[in-house]
Structure 1
Amino acid sequence: MDDAPLFDPSLDGWVQRNDEPGFIEMAGPIWERRGDDGLILGFVVRPMHCNRRGVLHGGMLMTFADQALGLSAWEANAGSPQATIQLDTHFIAAVDVGEFVQAETRITRKTRSLIFMSGSIHVSGRVVATAQGIWKTLQKERNEN
């Protein structure tokens, strides 16, 4: 990509997430907004997100899918602790630097201890990946005082 400016999500109604420190900081910033069906996440592809070919790295796309589906599952689970126990990602198309990637997610099934999620990841209306996963509800930590 040449020196064209990157898309600025804040000018289109997106709000930057303030996630806790850790691995996801390296993948961000991650943006969010509410859609008719719930939380939508997005990020602008930067050179640091790319592979040797100069397109979005599959690992970054999987990290984003895990974050998007996991946050939606967490919200559906009233903020209870949880862990990803399975994540399947299918890559469909390449994504270039400067493009804005969005994830829309949905719950496909929920039990007492598991949440089954699916989602589509797209850029400007074209699907670039799909993902399905399972999140396990964990017991809340007990206060040992």
Structure 2
Amino acid sequence: MTFDPAAAGWKQRSGQGPFTREVGPIWVKREKDGADGSAYALLAEERHTNSRGVVHGGMLMTLADHVLGWMVWDAVDRVACATVSLNNQFIAAVKPGDFLEMRGRIVRQTRSLIFIHGAATVGDRTVLTAEGIWKVLGQG
């Protein structure tokens, strides 16, 4: 039986742009207050896989960029931001049907840069970790 994120209390994230709609939907669940208070998720599908039948690393990096970027965006009251650097460590394979959850936390914030760490899991198994730097661009 296929996992149903909506039945488990997840909601599709609103405001997803054209690229995100192509690879998503991405799901969100509020866990606590603050910029890093939400968990995000993707239900892995066959279309996300590589030739080996596991989720493509580029898809995992896409999820990390989106999730950590949304957390940064929330932290700066939804002012425009851009990814400066994003490093990913691939720890385990993700298969179609897996529900891939990602959480992050801001580790440092200056006026113009935000440093964030995140981890993606399937159940209790960590499959990806990521560290990124985002530039706060300001209103625009």
TM-score normalised according to structure 2 size = 0.94
* Partner in structure 2 of residue 22 of structure 1: 18
* Partner in structure 2 of residue 42 of structure 1: 41
* Partner in structure 2 of residue 131 of structure 1: 130
Q: Secondary structure at the match of 1:86?
A: strand
* Partner in structure 2 of residue 78 of structure 1: 77
Structure index of larger Rg:
1
Give the residue type in structure 2 aligned to 1:95. Answer: V
Number of residue pairs matched?
137
TM-score normalised according to structure 1 size = 0.91
Between the aligned partners of 2:28 and 2:139, the Cα distance in structure 1 is 26
- Asked if 2 retains the 8 angstrom alpha-carbon contact of 1:6 and 1:98, the reply is yes
Aligned Cα root-mean-square deviation (Å): 1.0
Q: 5+ residue gaps in structure 2?
A: none
Deviation at 1:14, TM superposition (A): 0.3
Between the aligned partners of 1:19 and 1:54, the Cα distance in structure 2 is 30
Between the aligned partners of 1:139 and 1:98, the Cα distance in structure 2 is 39
Deviation at 1:21, TM superposition (A): 2.8
- Asked if 2 retains the 8 angstrom alpha-carbon contact of 1:6 and 1:99, the reply is no
- Asked if 2 retains the 8 angstrom alpha-carbon contact of 1:19 and 1:25, the reply is no
Q: Does 1:52 align with 2:51?
A: yes
Q: Alignment partner for residue 12 of structure 1, among 8, 19, 22? A: 8
Task: Show CA shifts across 1:62-109 (max 9, x none).
Answer: 000001100001001110000001000000000111010000100000
Between the aligned partners of 1:130 and 1:59, the Cα distance in structure 2 is 14
